[in-house]
Structure 1
Amino acid sequence: MPGLYLHIPFCKQACHYCDFHFSTSMGLKGQFVEALVKEMALRRAYLPDPDAPLETIYFGGGTPSLLTAEELNRIFDAIRANFYVSPQAEITLEANPDDLTPTKLAVLAASPINRLSIGLQSFHEPHLRLMNRAHSAPESWAAVQQAQAAGFENISVDLIYGVPAASHDIWQEDLARLFELNVPHVSAYALTIEPDTAFGRRLKKGTFVVPPEEFVAQQFEMLLAQLRTHGYEQYEISNFCRPGRESRHNANYWRGVPYLGLGPSAHSFNGRSREYAVANNPQYVAAVLEEGRVPATVELLTPLDQANEYLLTTLRTSRGCDLAYLRDALGLNILFERAEYIASLVAQGMATLDEDVLRLTDAGKLLADHITLELFAAAPAAAGA
């Protein structure tokens, strides 16, 4: 069933690793909310079945927890006016720990939001300062506990591993603190250095040194082992949950379920094409409010595009990639084109092949991007077959 994504492009300050679209200036925030509401009316017919109930709503960013009670209420009023929301819908809001005061949590608890995704990143103060996070280590801990006390049980937390350090001790401590919180969902990401970020610029200047790949891989392996020991399932490379507690919204991305993205830089997918809204707040606000249009780039998906997307997304999940479906429904026959490479993955313990379903092992997940690119190499041959 379809989903709705709302990009809230504002942050208090810029994290040194982040290359998502956001602004630290709040000057356009009121007009942005007005434009977001208008965009819903403009794009209500985008999804393949506009009358199908929304099963998931996701406030991402940026920092959606910067929205006031009035702004949230206005957005939800517009959602209800333009879409039918399933009574069982998963409604997630990303939040930074420093925003989750008792007062703000009371506002969120009184809203339709029923799931919080809290960006902790670390419980180690020097690492938070290195990443230029707006919150402190004590706030990381308190935010989750206060959210639980406010009635939020469906909570996900984010952690970052592969941060430069002399040993694995800090990462071990982060994991130990995580398990004390007993949340049902964890997203864990390796620190990635993107060019247009503070870390990227410092790396280019030689003032920032990334840890060796082996160091990062060891922390990933520690993550897998300890999460399994504590009852979490890895249902996607970076996402872990207690049984039955996966993020329905994100899982639908990996399953190719249509969704509508609203706001600057938001992406949308309707099964036939993708749309990418302009990543510029003033341009977005002016186009929507003054011209009644959404400034977006449309990419029509060829059968090969759809096949490659299916391969890319499903290989990241515990469900794996159904190579027979990839061949019969999407026209990409890597069972034949890359039979030797697939056999080598299995022989090396990088993947398993069971009834034509290819799944990466823990060792394979460390090289998921490389393996996917290797399998993409079959695409030109398959397209011309």
Structure 2
Amino acid sequence: MSGIYIHIPFCKQACHYCDFHFSTSMKKKDEMVLALAKEIQMRKSEFKDEVVETIYFGGGTPSVLTTEEIQFLISEVYKNYKVAGNPEITLEANPDDLSKDKIIELSKSPINRLSIGIQSFFEEDLTMMNRAHNSVEAKECLEITTQYFDNISLDLIYGIPGMSNEKWKQNIETALSFGIPHISSYALTVEPKTALNKLIQTGKIAKPSDDLAQEHFSILVETLEKNDFIHYELSNFGKENYFSKNNSAYWLGKKYLGIGPSAHSYDGISRSWNVSNNTIYLKSLAENKLPNEIEILSKSDRYNEYIMTGLRTIWGVSLDRIATEFGNDYLDYLQKQAQKFIYDDLLFIENKILKPTRKGKFLTDGIASDLFYLNLEA
């Protein structure tokens, strides 16, 4: 199984917390769509032996594209790659782009999964984050979307300064009231080069609290599990048969091709990434050059990535796979490093699979970094 990710580097406005690559100017949108199509064509040899089972439009805000532009890019994938019979094709979308007409158009297109950036149903939160939509649009778009799409995910942000536990519960309950089968939820994090960081430094917004985020995370897990959601990745919850196939492939170490400025690719041995600059990207493609850098991953790099992704998921880290793929030195090191976390009831081993306990889930990334092997040669 392999996937193709297409990065759409445009947004109507900049969210205060976001550090993804995008431009708020749409002047080069038409040129960018043609360049994306060209990169899709130029890289087909990389996937000549692969079957594409997922196509994912991320960003940025992919829903700023017209349905015709989206269909054009999908058709370019079909022209140049072997595509599975019923691929998962996801479009990330913002509520303000999802008018009834746009939703109906998309429902008639090859798009069969929507990932909608709600973030919060409260007006004051959306204003603080500088989201392009309001709370009314958030609810109205879900009311309409659920009539035309079955496979829908929505994003929620927790740990927002000043958000009470009760208010957070209301956000979750509102999401559940629409019958959505998948929820992705992330703690509000402060990235260095964002407006949010400046607002915190100048005292206009309080700094997010780790303790509050942990409380909200616990409420999230408990509430969604009571409503038959499976907590299959640290930030992702899906009902049975509604896990994101695209994201699951990332976490399980499958190959993927990243198209567009700033997009990353992975083939099991190396990782590459495109330049995070629209102008340079467009110029390079016009000159028939791929504007990317490539890093060959050492054995330690691959081990560390498996630890990081494995611990975040319901599938955990297989001790047998560690031994087979990386060797007994890595296995011995992992078991030794894991002991203190097992003792503290943060990790456990079951059927030769290492996983975080309920108590350890929120701390997964920090635990994983302590299990990394930094001193082995490639």
Output one character per residue of 1:313-346: Cα deviation in whole Å (capped at 9) or x when no partner: 1110011001231132123745422544422212
Output one character per residue of 1:252-298: Cα deviation in whole Å (capped at 9) or x when no partner: 00011101110000001111111100001111011102x10110011
Q: Give 4+ residue runs of structure 1 displaced > 3 Å after superposition.
A: 331-335, 338-341
For 1:211 and 1:197, the matched residues in 2 are separated by 14
CA contact (8 A) 1:51 1:83 kept: no
Q: Which residue is equivalent to 1:148? A: 146
Match of 2:126 among 128, 136, 150: 128
Q: Which residue is equivalent to 1:108? A: 106
CA contact (8 A) 1:98 1:135 kept: yes
Superposition deviation, residue 347 in structure 1:
2.2
Q: Which residue is equivalent to 2:21? A: 21
**Which runs of 5 or more residues in structure 1 are unaligned?**
none
Amino acid at match of 1:283: I
Superposition deviation, residue 373 in structure 1:
1.0
Amino acid at match of 1:261: G
CA contact (8 A) 1:97 1:120 kept: yes
Q: Which residue is equivalent to 2:39? A: 39
Match of 2:333 among 332, 337, 340: 337
CA contact (8 A) 1:351 1:359 kept: yes
Superposition deviation, residue 374 in structure 1:
0.7
For 2:70 and 2:96, the matched residues in 1 are separated by 18
Is 1:301 the counterpart of 2:297 in the alignment? yes
Is 1:259 the counterpart of 2:264 in the alignment? no
Q: Which residue is equivalent to 1:9? A: 9
CA contact (8 A) 2:322 2:331 kept: no
- DSSP-derived class of the 1:89 partner: strand
Superposition deviation, residue 79 in structure 1:
1.4
Output one character per residue of 1:191-250: Cα deviation in whole Å (capped at 9) or x when no partner: 011011101122233333223221110100000000000000000000000012100000
For 2:328 and 2:267, the matched residues in 1 are separated by 21
- DSSP-derived class of the 1:234 partner: strand
Q: Which residue is equivalent to 1:370? A: 366
For 2:101 and 2:163, the matched residues in 1 are separated by 39
Normalised to the residue count of structure 1, the TM-score between the two structures is: 0.95
- DSSP-derived class of the 2:132 partner: coil
The structure-2 alpha-carbon separation of the partners of 1:327 and 1:333, relative to structure 1 and needing over 3 Å to count, comes to: farther
CA contact (8 A) 1:350 1:362 kept: yes
For 1:41 and 1:124, the matched residues in 2 are separated by 43
For 2:299 and 2:230, the matched residues in 1 are separated by 32
Superposition deviation, residue 100 in structure 1:
0.5
Is 1:351 the counterpart of 2:347 in the alignment? yes
| Equivalent residue runs for 1:312-327 within 5 Å | 312-327=308-323
The structure-2 alpha-carbon separation of the partners of 1:287 and 1:173, relative to structure 1 and needing over 3 Å to count, comes to: same
The sequence identity of aligned pairs, in percent, is: 42
CA contact (8 A) 1:323 1:358 kept: yes
Match of 1:220 among 214, 217, 222: 217
Q: How many pairs align?
A: 378
Superposition deviation, residue 369 in structure 1:
1.5
The structure-2 alpha-carbon separation of the partners of 1:211 and 1:70, relative to structure 1 and needing over 3 Å to count, comes to: closer
CA contact (8 A) 2:10 2:22 kept: yes
CA contact (8 A) 1:233 1:241 kept: yes
**Which runs of 5 or more residues in structure 2 are unaligned?**
none
Normalised to the residue count of structure 2, the TM-score between the two structures is: 0.97
Superposition deviation, residue 366 in structure 1:
1.5
Superposition deviation, residue 122 in structure 1:
0.5
Q: Which residue is equivalent to 2:59? A: 61
| Equivalent residue runs for 1:149-168 within 5 Å | 149=147, 151-165=148-162, 167-168=164-165
For 1:166 and 1:83, the matched residues in 2 are separated by 46
Superposition deviation, residue 362 in structure 1:
2.0
| Equivalent residue runs for 1:244-255 within 5 Å | 244-255=241-252
For 1:331 and 1:379, the matched residues in 2 are separated by 15
Amino acid at match of 1:198: A
Is 1:233 the counterpart of 2:226 in the alignment? no
Q: Which residue is equivalent to 1:91? A: 89
Amino acid at match of 1:363: K
Is 1:193 the counterpart of 2:183 in the alignment? no
- DSSP-derived class of the 1:367 partner: helix
